[in-house]
Structure 1
């Protein structure tokens, strides 16, 4: 895909130039932090009393937004008002501009009309996305003079970009404030806007910006546009990725506290950083335990500003890295704790942006959940996972959590279709502590002499029940190919799902060939799967099937075959026509295999069915050098070019430019291939 040449832009007010260096390659993620908070969104409820509000509806800010000043005691948004759910622009604007307090839950993708529209938010508002489904496209929010006590949380705000990189004609921001105070911007995904992702201007103060992903933008995050020394701001745990300038640029801030942020300039892309954290004017900045990867001019200051650096890490950076002057002690204003700098990249990659738990409301079925305990040593109710599954009553109306103590459980587990709402959850400190493993392969004879298991029947864990969840555990098939060369059929499935609304959170699914079978109950049945914060390990067609499945914020690890060779295929979708297939998003592909040895996928026309229309989209994902430069290939006489295979804004040494052998989505096409489009109104949440 041809990119428009991008010229360097400068801060609006001053014209201090910065030197240009060469960033080094991005280091592929090798670890992930486990854990997300969870909840359940009741889509039918339009209003609920604030007295029964969940924790996210009454959450309060940390940092400078928590400090009492200007007659406002901290930042708590609309918690004292009613909670409303909106799915249209008209309703969002109605409640955001109302005089009274509201908690406004955005439960759909809302397109701004006209493009660039910024809703003028009034005081005492919480605007929060419902899980990952709240998206604002083509515009954003404006907070004017005196507006205060506003929370903007858990939203994706994107795509007002008008095709001009250094755009001086379209001031289309995601979030802009002029003279506002006590504002908390938290857990948002902000990207691809015509101007700033965040603009904090004209004496705005008592602002905290936390746990956001800011990406694919030029003038990203500006603070100042004032001669006064007023602004107090905290910026922590934000991931700046592929942003050219203002990361942030901080002008005349009285107190700017930046900590545990990750600034990343990925190699091999058209977006090159001009500078990272910039302290200008009379700004006093404290910069702590942040991680800079590949950035040009990672930390800069002008002669009148101050920067005190503590505990920061710089990898592959170049150009200016400055400090000097005196600043302040943030702990004299509020308490906070620092994460280790080395942990910041993995912590933020798995932790920033919208959470499935925020903006969702627990239901009575969740409250009625039953817990069954499993322990190999007899300290639980059951010694095997299957025994606990067997104890779940047929057609159970509410959630049953099977809580599995650490250990290795060598057994086959089947969750039949008449046992919905089952969660299998490890209780260890790591997903590696609880392991369900077996070693059947497609060619393994059944004990009763009735034939072989076949590919689908080889699964260690087989899920046929809707609304299934697995959390914090490992599911493995350890079939030994080297020792079974005489066996016909080496496909060995670790996990097979053949159900709808399957949520896999914080799991490892590992094997060799055909590791993860994402299926449906029947060809005419929908089977949606959402996997996040997880690992999938394998080598040949190891993510395959006809489900509508998302692998989000996860790590796909490639492994060598039984004989030590490097060759394989990540996906083999067998999607039914007019359905969505596989979406790999916001993830990392890595592994100790040879460069150029793996395909992203090939079309599986199961049973030779020409009516199928296999689909894999890989987007916003870091690809290791193992990926071939022509990443798609044919299968069993079917050409991948007759089906649906595409990429969008992937990075890393395995990424490549668009060609007839490597199709890329356009920006317009990518708008319709987001995670929410795959899930079709389902918000995956623990319940």
Structure 2
């Protein structure tokens, strides 16, 4: 376990793009087609001095970020690996598969409608599951997935039966009457990757109530209001403080309005190489949360990142972000635990993000 935190202070290196920068972004497109990383070690290799940093390919089959950390008795996130591979084409079969106690790889074929019923359309996922869409048209509509035990305010430390080791990939989610995905009650080692989220009634992907070691990567969020909640509410420190360690990288926030993400209590939260376009705000850090924001590209975002939001002030360190046609600068405050304390990573340059992320995020890319 790599759990000895180091801290860094905010260098404050975001920059507003100039016309010359915009031309450079266009010029990068051709070179990225030939220079994209292809080797399995590209996720951890350090770039040579002056070279463009790289990340693993968009279709990488292994969890990275906080979902890769050896902690809480779980060495990374493997989902249903080692279990049977099954294919769901009906609602009944899908709900049966995701609730089974054993490891299972659940392939989703076509459109599955999740009923509302007595659960407001939220359906529980058991531990050790990979839920993956086949092709580019696998879809869950009308309801959402809950990854976690039922809510219990009296539980303030991880229970032995906390839901863990769940992967959700290559699925379109829409039309839920509540959340599209809700991670709760000390669930840990969750990887949500290469999905498409839209038109949910509440959150797209909410992570709360003591959940931990989560990665949200290469997803497209669009036609949605309250996108990513991290931390239940201002009064939930007993469950959330010291947990909620989450990585958000290479997501396309495509006019998703707000909460991209909205953070309480968590530290560190790592937000890197995301593409923001036409949002009311990007990141909000509150209730003494600690966010590291780096290598992101903000285009037409009213408030790219805030620490003075609601409730107590948060903390935020930023470096090497690009702002284009944004109304306010990135707000910074304090120091934050360094994500590299927990896992290795490398970056695309922020100028590459508007080429790399829309091309690689969403379904049909793995």
| TM-score of the two chains, using structure 2 as the length reference | 0.76
Partner of 1:96: 98
Partner of 1:210: 217
Secondary structure of the corresponding residue to residue 197 of structure 2: strand
2:129 to 125, 132, 144: 125
1:185 to 183, 192, 197: 192
Secondary structure of the corresponding residue to residue 235 of structure 1: strand
1:178-235, Cα deviation, whole Å (9 max, x unpaired): 1211100000011111111111010111000000001111111100013123111111
Alignment of 1:428-577 (within 5 A): none
Counterpart Cα distance in 2 of 1:333 and 1:256: 11
Check conservation: 2:116, 2:122, Cα contact below 8 A. Answer: no
Counterpart Cα distance in 1 of 2:142 and 2:326: 33
Partner of 1:525: none
Partner of 2:141: 137
2:344 to 320, 335, 338: 335
1:587-646, Cα deviation, whole Å (9 max, x unpaired): xxxxxxxxxxxxxxxxxxxxxxxxxxxxxxxxxxxxxxxxxxxxxxxxxxxxxxxxxxxx
1:325 to 334, 341, 348: 334
Partner of 2:157: none
Partner of 2:359: 350
Check conservation: 1:297, 1:318, Cα contact below 8 A. Answer: yes
Check conservation: 1:232, 1:256, Cα contact below 8 A. Answer: yes
Distance 1:219 1:58, change over 3 A: closer
Check conservation: 1:296, 1:320, Cα contact below 8 A. Answer: no
1:317-356, Cα deviation, whole Å (9 max, x unpaired): 0135201200122112111110011010111111001125
Deviation at 1:133, TM superposition (A): 2.3
Check conservation: 1:57, 1:103, Cα contact below 8 A. Answer: no
Deviation at 1:305, TM superposition (A): 1.6
Check conservation: 2:89, 2:110, Cα contact below 8 A. Answer: yes
Partner of 1:397: none
Asked if 1:219 corresponds to 2:223, the answer is no
Partner of 1:278: 284
Partner of 2:298: 292
1:158 to 174, 178, 181: 174
Secondary structure of the corresponding residue to residue 210 of structure 2: coil
Asked if 1:81 corresponds to 2:97, the answer is no
In structure 2, stretches of 5+ residues that fail to align are: 1-21, 38-57, 150-161
Partner of 1:246: 259
Asked if 1:304 corresponds to 2:313, the answer is yes
Counterpart Cα distance in 1 of 2:209 and 2:329: 28
| TM-score of the two chains, using structure 1 as the length reference | 0.41
Asked if 1:231 corresponds to 2:237, the answer is no
Check conservation: 1:211, 1:352, Cα contact below 8 A. Answer: yes
Partner of 2:70: 68
Q: Which has the higher helix share?
A: 2
Partner of 2:110: 108
Secondary structure of the corresponding residue to residue 269 of structure 2: strand
Distance 1:235 1:58, change over 3 A: closer
Counterpart Cα distance in 2 of 1:144 and 1:252: 19
Larger Rg: 1
1:41-82, Cα deviation, whole Å (9 max, x unpaired): xxxxxxxxxxxxxxx999431111111111111100000200
User: Which of 1 and 2 has higher RCO (CA within 8 Å, sep 6+)?
Assistant: 2
Secondary structure of the corresponding residue to residue 219 of structure 1: coil
Deviation at 1:34, TM superposition (A): 4.1
Counterpart Cα distance in 2 of 1:108 and 1:353: 16
Check conservation: 1:183, 1:207, Cα contact below 8 A. Answer: yes
Check conservation: 1:57, 1:79, Cα contact below 8 A. Answer: no
Partner of 1:262: 275
Partner of 1:514: none
Partner of 2:207: 200
Check conservation: 1:252, 1:282, Cα contact below 8 A. Answer: yes
In structure 1, stretches of 5+ residues that fail to align are: 1-26, 38-55, 161-169, 266-272, 359-687
Check conservation: 1:60, 1:74, Cα contact below 8 A. Answer: no
Secondary structure of the corresponding residue to residue 298 of structure 1: strand
Check conservation: 1:292, 1:315, Cα contact below 8 A. Answer: yes
Counterpart Cα distance in 2 of 1:346 and 1:58: 18
Counterpart Cα distance in 2 of 1:138 and 1:280: 32
Secondary structure of the corresponding residue to residue 92 of structure 2: helix
1:388-433, Cα deviation, whole Å (9 max, x unpaired): xxxxxxxxxxxxxxxxxxxxxxxxxxxxxxxxxxxxxxxxxxxxxx
Secondary structure of the corresponding residue to residue 77 of structure 2: coil
Matched positions, count: 296
Counterpart Cα distance in 2 of 1:194 and 1:34: 37
Partner of 1:147: 163
Distance 1:322 1:57, change over 3 A: closer
